[in-house]
């Protein structure tokens, strides 16, 4: 079984054996590199062997498929987007247009959550990575006092 384990800022990872449920906190500073994902093999004292993935992220990422739009500042350009994952710090989205996003560019995005109210979310983001039509963007404000905050906490 492969589980994903998040590494905290102190390079500590909490691993739980899926057989005996024994919890172990280990220092992974010697194996953590610049990669976001690292596969490791674990062996518990109970004899169970399993594979897990260490993920170096400050916040949990939720895989989603939300349709939305982004609006390019100071223009009339409105681009349809598909948000593919979201966390407290940002979003990843895809677009299928000829527009060339630039790292550091500030844009507005809107989308609706899949909650009961289909809550409309409007955010300002800063483009942090561009790979073909995949864009990684950071929320300009880390605070989410709207429906997105509770969605990320409870969904």
Q: Is the pLDDT of residue 3 over 70?
A: no
**Start and end residues for every CATH 2.40.10.220 domain found in the chain:** 62-154
Burial status of residue 105 (CB atoms within 10 A of its CB: 0-12, 13-18, 19 or more): middle
Tens digits of residue pLDDT in 75-118: 889 999 999 999 888 999 999 999 999 999 999 999 999 988 99
Which CATH class name applies to 62-154?
Answer: mainly beta
- Say how many C-beta atoms besides its own lie within 10 A of residue 61's C-beta: 19
Name the band, by pLDDT with cuts 50, 70 and 90, for residue 154: confident
How far apart, in whole angstroms, are the C-alpha atoms of residue 83 and residue 64? 7
The reported pLDDT for the residue numbered 29 is: 79
The larger pLDDT score, comparing residue 72 to residue 4, is at 72
Average pLDDT over residues 116-144: 92
Tens digits of residue pLDDT in 36-80: 667 888 888 999 998 888 776 555 678 899 999 999 988 889 999
The reported pLDDT for the residue numbered 40 is: 83
Q: Is the pLDDT of residue 20 over 70?
A: yes
CA distances from 68 to 21, 79, 83 (A): 41, 9, 7
Which of these, 96, 87, 99, lies nearest to 142 by C-alpha position?
A: 87
Average pLDDT over residues 117-130: 94
Whether the pTM exceeds 0.85: the reply is no
Helix intervals (H) in the chain: 147-154
């Amino acid at each position: 079984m492969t589980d994903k384990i998040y590494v905290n800022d102190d390079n500590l990872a909490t691993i739980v054996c899926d057989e005996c449920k024994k919890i172990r906190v280990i220092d992974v500073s010697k194996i953590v590199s610049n990669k976001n994902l690292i596969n490791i093999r674990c062996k518990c004292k109970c004899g169970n062997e399993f594979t897990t993935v260490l993920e170096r992220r400050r916040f949990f990422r939720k895989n989603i498929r939300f349709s939305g739009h982004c609006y390019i500042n100071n223009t009339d350009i409105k681009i349809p987007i598909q948000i593919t994952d979201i966390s407290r710090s940002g979003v990843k989205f895809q677009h299928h247009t000829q527009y060339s996003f630039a790292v550091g560019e500030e844009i507005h995005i809107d989308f609706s959550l899949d909650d009961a109210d289909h809550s409309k979310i409007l955010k300002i983001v800063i483009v942090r990575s561009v790979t073909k039509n995949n864009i990684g963007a950071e929320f300009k404000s880390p605070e989410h006092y709207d429906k997105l905050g509770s969605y990320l906490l409870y969904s």
